[in-house]
Structure 1
Amino acid sequence: MAIRDGRIIRVGNYSFVQEVSGYGTKELNLNGKIVVPGFIDSHVHLLPGGLQMARVEVRGVNTKDEFIRKIKEAVENMEKGSWVLGGGWNNDFWGGELPSASWIDDITPHHPVWLTRMDGHMGLANSLALKLAGVTSTMQDPVGGTISKNENGEPTGLMIDSAMKLIISCIPEISVEERRQALHRASRCALMNGVTTVVDMGRYFPGAPTEHSWEDFSDVYRWADSSGKMMIRICLFFPLPTWSRLHDIVQTTGRKLSQWLYIGGVKAFADGSLGSNSALFHEPYADEPWNFGLQVTDTESLYNMTVQSDKSGLQVAIHAIGDKANDLVLDMYESVASTNGKRDRRFRIEHAQHLTHGTAAKFGELEIVASVQPDHLLDDADSAVKKIGVQRAQEGSYLFQSLLANNALVAFGSDWPVADINPLNSIRTAIKRIPPGWDKAWNSAECMKLTDALNAYTISAARACFLDEDLGSLSAGKMADFVILNAESWDSFVTQETTSVAATYVSGVQAYP
């Protein structure tokens, strides 16, 4: 492979590539190691991930005592009155019991606490944080959210989906400098794992202030781009309600702001998450027979904003996890396309985790991008059986191979910080589908081939966000973003968990290590 000025100019045998060699050409012999295009993570929350790296980390905690100990340790080093912030907890790891403010009130009498669940759709506040937010037993649930209460009607501290905004609005605003440092940390983390491009879905969650995305755009991303501090390529999605503002920018600048920064489109939410029992299903939850989940954006608003965004030429991505939410979004996309006429729009559904029979075929028929996250199945396998029952979990969850077989464009991502940025692990997960503690695959018919899983993290991911002319494959004319793996064969990669990223190159320049 020959590279000049950050782009690939030739790929072929040695003598063909050698023809363009000249004075000052550097030659790198990898001695048979595997080279792949730079990985494209199709769904991250970049600044939250970078911020989380400097906060209380409770991911992987598997006992109530350890959860409490982590908070206690954090408080010991903090000034009185300062917020304890963090996240990543998963109650399924300690048997399913949901945490409550009572667990931590005794050790945090002078510190408001806010700890988000690993899926980002639920958080735990202590009693002091609830008091600061004015959350009481008489407060009604906000639209698209739930304030969890005990049998006495008192708030437990758990806030679901749009109810989270009640707490978050009380947390002191994160400084510009903190967010810029978060971008730096997050970018280094991506490069360590071979990720050279991310599709950033921002700090947006159901009910969140849409202005956050625009503050980050100007204060962090445009600043980093103009001051030469970008380390990875970033494709940005903005809250759907702000579509007209984004349209105005695209009209002025185009989608490619620089070789580092791209405008992706707009994003919205149809439902919540499985772990928070707020993903929207046709049938109720097995562990809560009265609960079908939450539709967090009403259908009419979602449709009207999607029609306008699409008419303006913007790409639309909508979060849908439950089977009813996916059907709702697919039907809406079909209607919008019929209203606005034929064009290459590449509508996206983010997550597409649980589908009814025949829904996978509709992704292909309507040319909808399935933006999915393989490593979520590792966290969901046991809880899905409890929450929606064995049959629904087995037949309708994480249907990657069915989507491919029905000609859907499948793009892989991590949803970091919900799961780690780790394409190599995600590719293995998609191939093997063996959750922790299991001795067989979760629905082996859905196991993917290696080449398909690789495509989902490279060329298909590039197509899914309209960047395939510049990125996604090692071919002449494209940006020279590539990753060297410390493996000499694909067999060793698949069978050995030890394969890792040896080096990451962006525009032909070594960026990691």
Structure 2
Amino acid sequence: MPGTHQASKFDQSTRGGALKLLWFRMNLHFKRMILCLLIINLASCGGREPVDLLIVNASVYTVDGDKPWAQALAIRDGLIVAVGASDALIRDYDGEQLDLQGQMVLPGFHDSHSHLVYGGLELMRCDLSAESTVEDLLQTIAACDDALAAGEWLIAGGWDLSLFESTNPSKSLLDDINPKRRMFIRGADGHSAWASSAALDYAGIAAETPNPSDGIIERDASAEPRGVLRESAMMLVEKVLPAVTVEDRLKAARISVALAHSMGITSVIDAATTESDAKAFDALDADAALNLRLVLAMSLIAPFFDQAPLSSVKVSERYSDQNVRRSSAKIFIDGVLEGETAALLSPYLVGNHGHGMLITPASALTEQVVALDAAGVQLMFHAIGDAGVRMALDALEAAREANPAQDLRHHISHLQLVDPEDHPRFEALGVVANFQALWAFPDDYIMTINLPAVGLDRVQAMYPIGSLHRAGARIVGGSDWSVSSMNPLLAIETALTRRDPTGVRPQALNAAEAVTLADMIEAYTINGAYLAHRENQTGRLKPGYKADLVVLGANLFELAPSEIGEVPIVMTLFEGQKVYPK
């Protein structure tokens, strides 16, 4: 019957649908069971997220506000993904574990004033930095001379000016070693050089040669050049030296970068960089051989380096993520106290009792600073004397009035003497105080050269780190390598003690100017990152930041300040990869 047949088909269809529904429900139930088992299984192994490196059982000083201490770090793709307790991170993350057994971890150090290629070249040449007596100095120069072929220049560096009275040795000492050798010996301060007669003759420097406007040719009683050249007078010989090859610059950069890594340094402001130096850094970075964050303060007014045009400064790179940024420029205001070329408000007590020297006239400086500030160029100033510091601040005040919206973070380096009236101007103008704290103790330069030149009151006021910090200035630390050691821990110790970290001279240089360990760690980490416009990338150990860090052989907070400089660097990581030791 048609009706029966249709009913049968309907019944079959209904039964088929019921079976399909039953199967669907069973399948869904099965899938839910599998999912539950999977969740249970994941829960049983902790649901651990993969990372590249898990640092555990460490004393991690994060420099991160109200969370200063942790035990562990999780790192993936060069970034920190978690900071916390060891057991929590071991539970939550899976990766290669590095058990530091209580060793201290800090953000990688920022050296806010160094000369990497220049310093590397000095190490490749005749290095005099270890010589502490005149006899040893001359013996080393003689040994370097013996190693050279006839006709080659002897170029040396690291000569300690305090070894000679008035920092003014005669060319005859070099002539006695080899009267035919052209010798050019750079002072450790970078502002004086000592040349042999053959070198002076080759450069055409004679009694009738006038002093450059911003330099001094030291002379004897008959006006003959004595052998020492100050400031831009050095360029009279520098310009006739053999050219440095591209290969030598690359080698020098590699040497210096390796040295920086061995000191726990992962970020550097390279001061007075030349175009040739910048190309060497770019080449290393392109080869993945740099592993260092660099801000290049290109040389604009450069008595000691080849001239780099303003076009070398690339303002657009200031906030880029690239390792090498040409976003800054360096300007020299004055010279140094040792050569009586630092610009002082009150006169020197020796020599011609003058006020020192200005590398750039005040009116020209202000005009240039206002223009560079308007163009967005971050400026780094060399200023030793209190008049030089004031001149830099005056120019920056004019720039702030002309260009009020800029956030360029200009900084003044050295600050050996700063008039107290100028202390609050740093915070008011947003100027960063870039100290070389390793100089802040009574060494031979201060006691044998500076003390007679400026008197006890001004010596006691030197390197006012504490005063500027209390006045609200942001403090950063720089080595000025190769003028002095690149080791940040030596500088940190000296800033705390104001004493010789080697223990040779026990007295302090105005202990009231000391600062705390936490202050100096900030100076070498987050404050350095701020100066480099990287405070949202580096300088702290927190999630999202670059995994640039240093492992120390002891917890600095558990040591006497006088022990800090002896702490070994155990390891340096750049973006989570070990760069020291190799």
Structure 2 residue aligned with 1:103: 173
* Superposed displacement of residue 494, structure 1: 2.8
What SS does the corresponding residue of 1:402 show, helix, strand or coil? helix
What one-letter code is carried by the residue in structure 1 that aligns with 2:170? S
Structure 2 residue aligned with 1:405: 470
Tell me the distance in 1 between the aligned counterparts of 2:223 and 2:497.
45
What SS does the corresponding residue of 1:469 show, helix, strand or coil? coil
* Superposed displacement of residue 329, structure 1: 0.9
Structure 1 residue aligned with 2:487: 422
What SS does the corresponding residue of 2:559 show, helix, strand or coil? helix
Structure 1 residue aligned with 2:277: 216
What one-letter code is carried by the residue in structure 2 that aligns with 1:340? N
Match of 2:534 among 467, 475, 481: 467
* Superposed displacement of residue 246, structure 1: 3.6
Question: Is the CA contact 2:264–2:569 (under 8 Å) kept in the aligned structure 1?
Answer: yes
Would you say 1:512 and 2:580 are equivalent positions? yes
Tell me the distance in 2 between the aligned counterparts of 1:265 and 1:127.
39
Would you say 1:328 and 2:396 are equivalent positions? no
Structure 2 residue aligned with 1:226: 286
The list of structure 1 runs, each at least 4 consecutive aligned residues, that deviate by more than 6 angstroms after superposition, is none
Would you say 1:17 and 2:82 are equivalent positions? no
Would you say 1:351 and 2:414 are equivalent positions? yes
Question: Is the CA contact 2:550–2:571 (under 8 Å) kept in the aligned structure 1?
Answer: yes
* Superposed displacement of residue 97, structure 1: 4.9
Match of 2:342 among 279, 284, 287: 279
Would you say 1:501 and 2:564 are equivalent positions? no
Deviations 1:223-253 (A, max 9, x none): 1121222132221111236564145x434xx
Structure 2 residue aligned with 1:143: 213
Question: Is the CA contact 1:269–1:319 (under 8 Å) kept in the aligned structure 2?
Answer: yes
Tell me the distance in 1 between the aligned counterparts of 2:376 and 2:555.
44
Q: Structure 1 pair 491/384, CA: closer, same or farther in 2 (3 Å)?
A: farther
Match of 1:387 among 453, 456, 460: 453
Would you say 1:440 and 2:501 are equivalent positions? no
Structure 2 residue aligned with 1:207: none
Would you say 1:484 and 2:547 are equivalent positions? no
Q: Structure 1 pair 119/164, CA: closer, same or farther in 2 (3 Å)?
A: same
Q: Structure 1 pair 263/475, CA: closer, same or farther in 2 (3 Å)?
A: farther
Deviations 1:382-417 (A, max 9, x none): 1322221001111x2100011110110111010000
Would you say 1:237 and 2:237 are equivalent positions? no
Tell me the distance in 1 between the aligned counterparts of 2:167 and 2:378.
40
* Superposed displacement of residue 216, structure 1: 2.0
What one-letter code is carried by the residue in structure 1 that aligns with 2:110? I
Tell me the distance in 2 between the aligned counterparts of 1:93 and 1:155.
20
Tell me the distance in 1 between the aligned counterparts of 2:422 and 2:230.
27
Tell me the distance in 2 between the aligned counterparts of 1:173 and 1:359.
42
Tell me the distance in 1 between the aligned counterparts of 2:204 and 2:183.
14
Moved more, 488-497 or 379-388: 488-497
Structure 1 residue aligned with 2:126: 56
Tell me the distance in 1 between the aligned counterparts of 2:138 and 2:454.
29
Deviations 1:337-363 (A, max 9, x none): 101223322121111111112222221
Tell me the distance in 2 between the aligned counterparts of 1:60 and 1:354.
27
Tell me the distance in 2 between the aligned counterparts of 1:141 and 1:158.
12
* Structure of greater relative contact order (alpha carbons < 8 Å, 6+ residues apart): 1
Deviations 1:144-179 (A, max 9, x none): 111111111000111111111110001010000000
Tell me the distance in 2 between the aligned counterparts of 1:477 and 1:412.
25
Tell me the distance in 1 between the aligned counterparts of 2:310 and 2:145.
43
Tell me the distance in 1 between the aligned counterparts of 2:161 and 2:276.
33
Structure 2 residue aligned with 1:316: 379
Would you say 1:371 and 2:437 are equivalent positions? no
Would you say 1:4 and 2:76 are equivalent positions? yes
Q: Structure 1 pair 91/240, CA: closer, same or farther in 2 (3 Å)?
A: closer
Would you say 1:288 and 2:351 are equivalent positions? yes
Would you say 1:126 and 2:126 are equivalent positions? no
What one-letter code is carried by the residue in structure 2 that aligns with 1:155? P
* Superposed displacement of residue 71, structure 1: 0.9
Tell me the distance in 2 between the aligned counterparts of 1:221 and 1:442.
38
Structure 1 residue aligned with 2:18: none
Q: Structure 1 pair 489/400, CA: closer, same or farther in 2 (3 Å)?
A: closer
Structure 2 residue aligned with 1:340: 403
Moved more, 234-243 or 38-47: 234-243
Would you say 1:156 and 2:223 are equivalent positions? no
Tell me the distance in 2 between the aligned counterparts of 1:402 and 1:333.
21
Moved more, 223-232 or 147-156: 223-232
Tell me the distance in 1 between the aligned counterparts of 2:309 and 2:467.
32
Structure 1 residue aligned with 2:69: none
* Superposed displacement of residue 15, structure 1: 4.2
Moved more, 261-270 or 25-34: 261-270
Tell me the distance in 2 between the aligned counterparts of 1:489 and 1:146.
45
What SS does the corresponding residue of 1:296 show, helix, strand or coil? coil
Question: Is the CA contact 1:63–1:94 (under 8 Å) kept in the aligned structure 2?
Answer: no
Structure 1 residue aligned with 2:146: 76
Q: Percent same amino acid among aligned pairs?
A: 31
Would you say 1:304 and 2:376 are equivalent positions? no
* Superposed displacement of residue 30, structure 1: 0.6
What SS does the corresponding residue of 2:98 show, helix, strand or coil? coil
* Superposed displacement of residue 488, structure 1: 4.0
Q: Which has the larger radius of gyration?
A: 2
What SS does the corresponding residue of 2:99 show, helix, strand or coil? coil
TM-score relative to the length of structure 2: 0.82
Tell me the distance in 2 between the aligned counterparts of 1:267 and 1:188.
24
Q: Structure 1 pair 236/19, CA: closer, same or farther in 2 (3 Å)?
A: farther
Question: Is the CA contact 1:243–1:309 (under 8 Å) kept in the aligned structure 2?
Answer: no
Tell me the distance in 2 between the aligned counterparts of 1:340 and 1:217.
29
Moved more, 165-174 or 87-96: 87-96
Structure 2 residue aligned with 1:30: 100
Question: Is the CA contact 1:46–1:202 (under 8 Å) kept in the aligned structure 2?
Answer: no
Match of 1:174 among 222, 229, 244: 244
Tell me the distance in 1 between the aligned counterparts of 2:556 and 2:521.
14
Tell me the distance in 1 between the aligned counterparts of 2:198 and 2:310.
39
Question: Is the CA contact 2:272–2:330 (under 8 Å) kept in the aligned structure 1?
Answer: no
Q: Structure 1 pair 495/355, CA: closer, same or farther in 2 (3 Å)?
A: closer
What SS does the corresponding residue of 1:285 show, helix, strand or coil? coil
What one-letter code is carried by the residue in structure 2 that aligns with 1:418? V
What one-letter code is carried by the residue in structure 2 that aligns with 1:499? V
Tell me the distance in 2 between the aligned counterparts of 1:113 and 1:59.
17
* Superposed displacement of residue 493, structure 1: 6.2
* Superposed displacement of residue 299, structure 1: 1.8
Structure 1 residue aligned with 2:521: 454
Structure 2 residue aligned with 1:210: none
Question: Is the CA contact 1:484–1:501 (under 8 Å) kept in the aligned structure 2?
Answer: yes
Question: Is the CA contact 1:265–1:317 (under 8 Å) kept in the aligned structure 2?
Answer: yes
What SS does the corresponding residue of 2:522 show, helix, strand or coil? helix
What one-letter code is carried by the residue in structure 1 that aligns with 2:359? V
Structure 2 residue aligned with 1:206: none
Question: Is the CA contact 1:257–1:263 (under 8 Å) kept in the aligned structure 2?
Answer: no
Tell me the distance in 1 between the aligned counterparts of 2:332 and 2:394.
15
Would you say 1:255 and 2:322 are equivalent positions? no
Question: Is the CA contact 2:315–2:376 (under 8 Å) kept in the aligned structure 1?
Answer: no
